[in-house]
Amino acid sequence: MKLSELFVGQSASLKKRFTSEELVQFSEISLDKNPIHLDEEYASKSPFGKRIVYGYLTASLFSGLIGSKLPGNGSIYLGQSLNFKKPVYLGEEVTATVTITKIRDDKPIITLETICVNNKGEVLIDGNAVVKLIE
């Protein structure tokens, strides 16, 4: 998307349910073998009572939105803040949304609010991303 097509308040969303296989794949990529994500028996004895999705795996949905939807191709991450508010449970549907909050006048740099909620509308992750648009 071209800078001239972007505006404050513009947003894009996607929905996703993470599978056990995806958690295993992420554990291999990240080298994070924490059993809270991988072992049902271990997780059942945790404060969560069951397996939870890696926070950064869930947050990676923001990267997918930014790189392919808003602003889209040519977006380069400059920074991302994240606040992990509630756990994401294995198989739970989540909705990730990015919303443009600022477009710089002097450079093609865009700030976006990033938020992920569950189907009850509870905020699971929030934060902000700063990206540069390469046109």
Residue with structure tokens 């059993």?
Answer: 35
More confident residue, 4 or 40: 40
* Domains: count for the chain: 1
Residue with structure tokens 């972007």?
Answer: 6
DSSP 52: B
Percent of the chain with pLDDT over 90: 94
What's the confidence (pLDDT) of residue 93?
97
Residues in the chain: 135
Any bridge partners for residue 93, and if so which?
Answer: 17
What's the confidence (pLDDT) of residue 135?
72
Q: Give 121's Cβ-side CA count (13 Å radius).
A: 0
Residue 42 has which token pair?
């271990």
More confident residue, 63 or 1: 63
Domain span at residue 56 reads: 3-133
pLDDT for 44-68, tens place per residue? 999 999 999 999 999 999 999 999 9
Q: What is the CATH number of the domain that holds 36?
A: 3.10.129.10
Residue with structure tokens 């890696």?
Answer: 54
pLDDT at 77 over 90: yes
pLDDT at 128 over 90: yes
71 cis-preceded (ω within 30 degrees of 0): yes
pLDDT at 3 over 90: no
Look up the pTM and report it.
0.93
Task: For residue 71, give Cα distances in angstroms to 2, 53, 56, 75, 101.
Answer: 8, 26, 21, 6, 12
Do 110 and 76 form a contact (C-beta atoms < 8 A)?
no
pLDDT for 83-109, tens place per residue? 999 999 999 999 999 999 999 999 999
